Amino acid sequence: MLMQRALASRFAKPCVFVLALLPLAYLTFALLRDALGANPAEALLRGTGLWTLRMLCVLLLVTPLREATAWAGLARLRRMLGLFVFFYALLHFVAYVWLDQSGQWDDILRDIPQRPFILVGLLALALLLPLALTSFNAAIRWMGASRWRGLHRAVYLIALLAILHFFWMRAGKRNFDEVAIYAVIIGVLLAWRLRRRFIRTAARPETSP
Amino acid sequence: MKLLNSEISPRELVQGRRGVLRHLLASTSALALPSLSTAQALAPTQRPGKLAPLPSKTSMLPGAQTMDKLTAYKDASGYNNFYEFGTDKSDPAANAHTLKTTPWTVDIEGLVKKPGRWALEDLLALSPMEERIYRLRCVEGWSMVIPWVGYSLAELIKRLEPLGSAKFVEFVSLADPKTMPFVGSRTLDWPYTEALRLDEAMHPLTLLAFGMYGEILPNQNGAPLRLVVPWKYGFKSAKSIVKIRFSERQPATAWNKAAPQEYGFYSNVNPEVDHPRWSQASERRLGEDGIFGKKRKTLMFNGYEAQVGQLYAGLDLKKFY
């Protein structure tokens, strides 16, 4: 009940907004304090990537959590969280282009075929772009709700690409422990949706007249 | 970033001045010969005061005194690849305190007249300690400048009297699961092994290092003794060595076994031969190239071409990467 009221409050969104900015604030603060270790460029590149993935996990958790708890107010946060996924992904991209590749486009064009995981990351970012661009209410009206929903299901594909991107990046050192954690989280969240879909499809013939 | 730059500028000044002195010293070795104490008085590197001092004289060897600015000790000892202690760069500094470096012995095996077991103390006393400032280029695309303390590996090898049939020298690192938590991880076969051609191992720039920054090596940097081969990617410089073996045939090496198409036996720094997954044309000098600045061009043989280029005359470096 308390949670219901908190989520419905007009402070809920600003609070989540500030919370979602904390990772960026931390990275910025650490950079200015020279506290990102010997290779701050690498730390920023990895930090923004990791927070994109974490935001994605939080985003995908919203619906299962809402259904499990009946905290309907959670749904109001989905758009903002989705935009934060895009925001951190964009920062990650900027860190790659600017810090990792020094903004040398010819280097980047040579880098992409050498490191296919970068292509996977770029693909995920490219898929995020139309979702971010159609995140406002009017877009739902223009597109029609079912087409809009269809488009936004791309987030599941994006989540899989994000995991593949992370896995492939770590494959060089066969260091998969952290990848496994995120793969399990995203796997469970996607499996929950498959299961729900399966139950609904199975239930449909009985409920229809 | 401006703020940070202004903070470090005094050190740059100091280093610049010292660089000039060092340059004078290196170019006029005759002048330096009468009193080695002069070199000692110029004791190039300020000790960080973390570990036991390891006194040395400034090396006069061509190539052993790079003019580049030193990497900060905290970076050189806090950002390491030493997979026995974890794959993250900060893992070795966090985990390597468990490594026991005394007592320590090194077994000499294979095609030498004088095989046997050497105590660390005897190795320390074998030849006068020199300070050498080398560029370190990691295969991952970053670099540092480190003042090592040690002597040419050749000093040891000469005393072991390799047989005519000895063509390669293999270095085996410690692999102790009790003190090295990630020995047994599937990244590499353990123990970590590296190897050089005998002529590479005999090259005076190939350093058997016992210290850095005027002190004994921190555990995470490969204590108590390691190899430093400045013209090759960092992983060729085996850490915490317990065995040196002389052989006729080219030994298998850790990264080459793990990914032969990515890490060759030679692994000479070469801006023209890319790693299959990234370019080797440039590098980020840690602590020096601003994070928003351009990376610097990587030099052939890491800038040691004048000294070591002849070792590879006629060798197709694209094929023997």
ipTM: 0.78
Residue keyed to tokens 């270790």:
A37
Chain B interface includes A28 (CB < 8 A): no
Mean pLDDT, to the nearest integer, of B70-74? 95
Kindly compute the dihedral angle of the four CA atoms of residues B232, B233, B239, B244, in this order, to the nearest 10 degrees.
-40
Q: What 3-state DSSP class applies to B151?
A: strand
CA B77, B80, B86, B89 dihedral sign is positive
CA A184, A188, A190, A195 dihedral sign is positive
Helix A40-69 crosses helix A177-207 at what angle (to 10 degrees)? 30
Whether B34 has a pLDDT exceeding 80, the answer reads: no
Contacts of A37 in chain B (CB under 8 A): 75, 78-79, 89-90
Contact A114 B79 (CB under 8 A): no
Nearest to B240 by CA among B265, B211, B219, B213: B219
Contacts of B280 in chain A (CB under 8 A): none
Chain B nearest CA to A111, separation (Å)? 6
> Which pLDDT tens digits describe chain A residue by residue (209 residues)?
788 888 888 889 999 999 999 999 999 999 999 889 899 999 999 999 999 999 999 999 999 999 999 888 898 899 999 999 999 999 999 999 999 888 888 888 888 888 889 999 999 999 999 999 999 999 999 999 999 999 999 999 999 999 999 999 988 777 888 999 999 999 999 999 999 999 988 877 655 44
Sequential DSSP letters for B193-232: EEEEEHHHHHSTT-EEEEEETTEEPPGGGT-S-EEE-TTB
**B241: DSSP letter:** E
Task: Provide the pLDDT confidence category of residue B290 given band limits of 50, 70 and 90.
Answer: confident
Residue A189 confidence (pLDDT): 96
Strand pairing category for B241-247 and B116-119: unpaired
**Chain center to CA of B179:** 23
Contact A38 B4 (CB under 8 A): no
Sequential DSSP letters for B246-289: EESSPPP-HHHHH-TTTS-SS-B--TTS-BTTB--SEEEETTTS
- The residues, any chain, with a CB within 8 Å of residue B181's CB and separated by 6 or more, are B84, B85, B86, B95, B98
Residue A206 confidence (pLDDT): 57
Nearest to B77 by CA among B151, B144, B174, B177: B144
Give CATH superfamily name and number for B2-312: Oxidoreductase, molybdopterin-binding domain (3.90.420.10)
Mean pLDDT, to the nearest integer, of B55-63? 95
Neighbours of B309 (CB within 10 A): 13
Whole-angstrom Cα distance, residue B217 to residue B53?
Answer: 10
Instruction: Dig out the tokens for A49 from the structure.
Output: 């990537």
Chain A interface includes B249 (CB < 8 A): no
- The residue ranges of every structural domain in chain B are 2-312
Amino acid code (one letter) for A14: P
Contact B89 A111 (CB under 8 A): no
C-alpha angle B264/B275/A36, rounded to 5°? 115
Total-model pTM: 0.83
- The residue ranges of every structural domain in chain A are 2-207
Contact A37 B79 (CB under 8 A): yes
Chain A nearest CA to B142, separation (Å)? 9
Task: Provide the pLDDT confidence category of residue B80 given band limits of 50, 70 and 90.
Answer: very high
Digit-coded pLDDT (tens) for B188-224? 999 999 999 999 999 999 999 999 999 999 999 999 9
Chain A interface includes B5 (CB < 8 A): no
Give yes or no for a contact between B255 and B188, defined as CB atoms under 8 angstroms apart.
Answer: yes
Nearest to B235 by CA among B271, B262, B217, B204: B262
